[in-house]
Amino acid sequence: MRLPFSSPVGRSTASHIAEVVSSSTTEFTAECLPPPDLNFPQVPALGSWVKTQSFASTDTTVYGVVSFASTTSIDTVHRAVALGMSLKELQEQQPQIFAMFRSELRVVILGYGMGDRLYQHLPPQPPQIHQAVHLCSPQEVIQFTEEVHFWRNLLHIAGAPVDELLSAVLRNVYQLRQCDRPWLVQASRHLGVLLKDDYDRLRAILAQVHP
């Protein structure tokens, strides 16, 4: 399977949204970059497709989807308290507040690209610490999801809302594919097999897929 034509990861910062701060064989955690203005970081939606680089090779692009996101205080002793202010009031009266929080993403790894080939299994090495994390282009997502083997990895994630994540990924890809019904039917049949014919669970997942 050929990778879509695009600039290699790391050579362009157009979609640089986060930086890898923790990495393992199956997933990585990335901290969202602070915006240039007084605001909180923009956190990608559940099921968003992202990419980064392997630890060992700058020619290997690691692909995954956002499985969990959190925003927490940098101060581990004092937790945030409600201030009763609008965003504009915070910007005017408490501008320091925007430097007191960080947003992190957990990304489950679904495959990788090397040269002109895509593989829907775990890469030989995990992503590199402090490596840039980019949003995938629609073309990249469409190319990667031509095959359906990556769904198995999504079913075995610990500490994530698996069914909600499956729905989000299905919905996102379906929309990117301009409501490609045959693709949705194929993906649904594959999920039905993986779910061992648990049709109630499959029906609940598919109920959240819409144009």
Q: What is the reported pLDDT for 5?
A: 33
How far apart, in whole angstroms, are the C-alpha atoms of residue 179 and residue 172? 10
pLDDT digits (tens, 9 = 90+) for 164-208: 999 999 999 999 999 999 999 999 999 999 998 789 999 999 999
Q: What is the reported pLDDT for 56?
A: 66
- State the pLDDT confidence band at 14, using cuts at 50, 70 and 90: low
Q: Is pLDDT at 38 greater than 70 in this prediction?
A: yes
pLDDT digits (tens, 9 = 90+) for 67-78: 999 988 887 777
Alpha carbon separation from 128 to 23, 30, 190 (Å, rounded): 7, 11, 32
How far apart, in whole angstroms, are the C-alpha atoms of residue 123 and residue 110? 9
Could you tell me the pTM of the whole model?
0.86
Helix axes 162-176, 199-206, angle to 10 degrees: 50
- State the pLDDT confidence band at 111, using cuts at 50, 70 and 90: very high
Q: What is the reported pLDDT for 7?
A: 35
Mean pLDDT score across all residues of the chain: 88
pLDDT digits (tens, 9 = 90+) for 128-162: 899 999 999 999 999 999 998 899 989 888 888 99
Cα angle 88, 46, 42 (rounded to 5 degrees) comes to 25
Dihedral in degrees, nearest 10, Cα atoms 161, 54, 70, 162? 0
- State the pLDDT confidence band at 80, using cuts at 50, 70 and 90: confident
